[in-house]
Amino acid sequence: MNTYKQYIFNLLLNLKDLREWAFKTPTRIVELVSGFIAFFFSSAFIMDLSFYITNHPYRNFSYLSSKWLWVLMFILSIMQIICAGRSTLKSNLKSAQLLLWFSLVWIIIAVVFATDYPPLSTGFFTYGILSVVNLTAYFYLDHLNKSKLKEIN
């Protein structure tokens, strides 16, 4: 058995390793949740599900209908998921930057949902809260990374 398959096998049998990976930094879960939400959200618009854009509460997403914008969000989401899967300082630095970018992305999406008022949809609150959580995780991970860099230097 090669080391990758052995690692997956041991991970499934020993959930302690999974817990240690997931909660080594408290931001790991936020990184994964934000990355997967962005992955599926952008995938829906890349697949040109235009019948969603004509309905409430997605009507105002027609202003953000550039396919390249959604492809960029898709690529950033994959980068976020990959960085969350790794535990190195370099990946943590990149992940902190991506958390900051996704905080901006989620607040823009929340504002687009809010412009479709009335009636106010839950998308405004959901993505607004996700933006604040991403920003908080960014500050924590940035502080953690700076302290690790001080230890190295």
Mean pLDDT of 39-66: 74
**Contact between 77 and 39 (Cβ < 8 Å):** yes
Contacts of 93 (CB under 8 A, 6+ apart): 145
Closest of 96, 94, 45, 48 to residue 69, by C-alpha: 45
- 26-40 pLDDT tens trace: 788 899 999 999 999
Query: How much is the pLDDT for 26?
Result: 76
What's the start-to-end Cα distance of the chain, in Å? 39
Neighbours of 153 (CB within 10 A): 5
pTM: 0.78
- 56-78 pLDDT tens trace: 666 667 666 677 888 999 999 99
**Contact between 24 and 87 (Cβ < 8 Å):** yes
